[in-house]
Amino acid sequence: MNIQDLLETAYRTYHIKGFIENDPISIPHEFSRKQDIEIMGFWTAVLSWGRRASIIKSAHRLTELMDGAPYDFIKHHQEKDLIPFTKFVHRTFQPTDALYFIHFLHDYYQTHDTLEDAFAQAINPTDPNVKNGLIAFHELFFSLPDAPDRTRKHIPTPLRKSSCKRLNMFLRWMVRDGQVDFGIWKQIKTDQLLIPLDVHVERMGKKLGLLHRKQRDWKAVEELTQNLKKFDPDDPVKYDFALFGLGLDDFSV
């Protein structure tokens, strides 16, 4: 079996509704309102490091703290409603980070209807990928006067050579359509998305000869995505399912 056939077969195997249940994407799937989906999609993606069960547990806790209605909470909460967030912790994500996330989102949604604009406004139709959007989002996110320095580690930027794994995953969730992803954002094209590069995807990319860079950084993301475009130039990131699933199952080539 050649590489393209292997990837297509694995994509069909793992790109199924059953994938959702044990994956962090299950959290935004609990909602139907666009703003609820993107708020919880964004926040869950940012928390997505470590065991998936732990990520899902923490994201559920966030939902509970926002009374099961993230968008309404973000828009209309009072100061006293923030008190429970002073005890919210997920690994290195601390209460200071949680409170700033709420502050940014509250400020943002006063003048915008969708979080898509925060990324898409800096991406031109001719741009090869979402790099400029990620840079612009990072700058916007930390544009408020009280932005804590410690929170910067949770919102990466290509300018610091980060792989931006969690943000690329979030964009995949919002932009791609299908059985798993939402497809609710239309200003960004699927051929501009970049592969969310985690340890499983990296390992399989190297096993298949699609990734040669040693560091798991921005250049590695671009290299792997460019090679995946040889198999599907319009939707290369669909192979995230294939590489992640094969890597998780420790597939041998």
Question: Tens of pLDDT along 46-58?
Answer: 999 989 999 999 9
How does pLDDT run across 82-110, given as a tens digit for each residue?
Answer: 999 999 999 999 999 999 999 999 999 99
Residue 247 scores a pLDDT above 90: no
The amino acid present at 168, given as its one-letter code, is N
Burial class of residue 196 in the structure, from the number of CB atoms within 10 Å of its CB (0-12 exposed, 13-18 middle, 19+ buried): buried
Three-state secondary structure call for residue 38: helix
Q: State what percent of residues in the chain have pLDDT above 90.
A: 96
Query: How sure is the predictor about 250, in pLDDT bands with cuts at 50, 70 and 90?
Result: low
User: Can you give the pLDDT at residue 92?
Assistant: 97
Which positions ≥6 away from 78 have C-beta within 8 Å?
Answer: none
**Mean pLDDT in residue range 9-24:** 95
- pLDDT tens-place string over residues 141-159: 999 999 999 999 999 999 9
For 21, 90, 175, the CA distances from 32, given in Å and listed in that order, are 16, 25, 16
> In Å, how far are 171, 223, 224 from 209, measured between CA atoms?
25, 11, 9
pLDDT band, very low/low/confident/very high, at 181 (cuts 50, 70, 90): very high
Map 193-243 to HEC letters.
CCCCCCHHHHHHHHHCCCCCCCCCCHHHHHHHHHHHCCCCCCCHHHHHHHH
Q: What is the pLDDT of residue 253?
A: 45
> Residue 172: pLDDT above 90?
yes
Residue with tokens 């990072």: 138
Look at residue 178 in the predicted model and tell me its pLDDT: 92
Compute CA distances 195 → 141, 149, 162, 164, whole Å: 22, 27, 13, 9
Q: Rounded CA gap, 28 and 39, in Å?
A: 8
Q: Mean pLDDT for the chain?
A: 96
Q: What is the average per-residue pLDDT within 59-78?
A: 98
**Residue 103: partners with Cβ closer than 8 Å, 6 or more residues away:** 144, 146
pTM of the model: 0.96
Percent of the chain past pLDDT 70, that is, above it, reads 98
| 117, 105, 88, 162: CA torsion to nearest 10 | 40
Q: What is the mean predicted confidence (pLDDT) over 226-232? A: 98
Q: 95: closest CA among 54, 36, 154? A: 154
CA–CA dist 70, 65 (Å, integer): 9
Helices (H), 142-198: 165-175
pLDDT of 15 higher than 50: yes
Q: Which are the contacts of 42, defined by CB distance < 8 A and separation ≥ 6? A: 115, 170
